[in-house]
Amino acid sequence: MSQAPETRTLVDADGVTIWYYAWAAEQPRGIVHIAHGAGEHAGRYQQLADDLVGAGFTVVADDHRGHGATGENHLGLGRLGQGTTRGAIRSVLHVGQTIAEQNPGVPLVLLGHSWGSLMAQKIVAGEHPYDAVVLSGSSLAIPGVINAGDLNKRWRGAGSTGFEWLSRDPAVGTAFAEDPRAFDIAERPVWTAVQAFAFLGRPLKGMRDIPVLIQGGSDDSLGGTRGMTLLRDAYVKRSKLSDVTMRIYEGARHEIYKETNRDEIVGDLLAWLDARVPR
């Protein structure tokens, strides 16, 4: 049965009120902090939150700057405000730090999707409160690997909605188009090319060793198999991380937790978490 989240707010270091949501598990074995992608909001992760709560995890998901209730109550959807992309990264980390302070001793996992995964890559490269990280719909974030162009290009044509790149399930694109808090960043850009440099770059040498799971579809137009494989290799060979797992799903597109084989994908996520955050 779907559980409605508790709505909370906090004020970040730049004075922006960040809205976030908590789905509580009884006696949680861990907490999963979900960082959503560009043009969407935390509410789109209700089904995944239900899956995680059912597995014993409390889930927290924030609406990033310029998105969801945070954007609506600040400068509007698509407007990140002070610090732009770097400010948004700081806000996500602030949420994670707050969760950790409020739940001492409880394992904390960062699950970043798309833009959220790019911010997560930057966050776990520095000082952070997380015990593991999951990167969904991600890529090695360097020019020539990550796609900065038309993510729906291969599906353009008669009858295209513009959202085919999200999932093989057409209902996903329809729901996105009808969601008043979702928007197409191709039509309403969230950052400039210069501001995008904040989340570009390779994983760092000497970063803290934490478990990493990379999950994505082979037909994800953001980075696909090549982008995810290069990201995995960078964590193993450059950052020297000891526990890096990659799962690529043949034919799946960008939003893997809303794909036609989501049961398989979520099952793999829960099995990976089970091995690292035991009951």
The Cα 48–Cα 43 span in angstroms is 10
Strand 30-35: give its sheet, edge to edge.
6-11, 17-23, 57-62, 30-35, 108-113, 132-136, 212-217, 244-249
C-alpha gyration radius of the chain: 17
Q: Is the pLDDT of residue 279 over 90?
A: no
pLDDT of 48: 98
For the chain, give the percent of residues with pLDDT over 70: 100
pTM of the model as a whole: 0.97
The confidence band for 3, taking pLDDT boundaries of 50, 70 and 90, is confident
What are the tens digits of pLDDT across the range 164-209?
999 999 999 999 999 999 999 989 999 999 999 999 999 999 999 9
The Cα 52–Cα 96 span in angstroms is 17
Domain ranges of the chain: 6-276
What are the tens digits of pLDDT across the range 212-247?
999 999 999 999 999 999 999 999 999 999 999 999
CA quadruple 38, 267, 134, 214: dihedral positive or negative? Answer: negative
Architecture of domain 6-276 in this structure: 3-Layer(aba) Sandwich (3.40)
Average pLDDT value over all residues in the chain: 97
